[in-house]
Amino acid sequence: MDRIFIRDLLTRCIIGVNEEERREKQDVVIGIELFADLAKPCASDKFEDAIDYRALKKLIIAMVEASECFLIEALAERIAEVCLATPGVEEVRVTVEKPAALRYAKSVGVDITRRR
């Protein structure tokens, strides 16, 4: 299976279980790997044969910024659902990091893989 990736997509949302975390949006860093058969766009060199990852990025940002999940696990699942709703995407790997979650740590995150 071929792969398209989006790395270090930075956005902000309400995320967390503590009262102070629910007051203001926090940074989240998202990584996405889309698995699909890219043979047709490779051969044709036509945009209409490709997965529009720019449009997908916009959908993900809009969904994340409007979300108010308690857990980064739940946010990762919602991102995976958006990706799998995209025609041609057969599998997705989603990483969600919350840089400010743990004192003395650069980041904490989850990594999930989902298939159609």
Q: Distance between CA atoms of 67 and 28, rounded to whole angstroms?
A: 12
List 25, 57, 98, 106, catalytic entry: 98
User: Which among 73, 53, 55 has a CA at the least distance from the CA of 3?
Assistant: 53
- Distance, CA of 79 to CA of 107 (rounded, Å): 19
The strand pair at 91-98 and 26-36 is best described as: antiparallel
Counting every residue written for the chain, the total comes to 116
Residues forming a β-bridge with 103:
none
Active site residue 106: no
Catalytic residues: 98
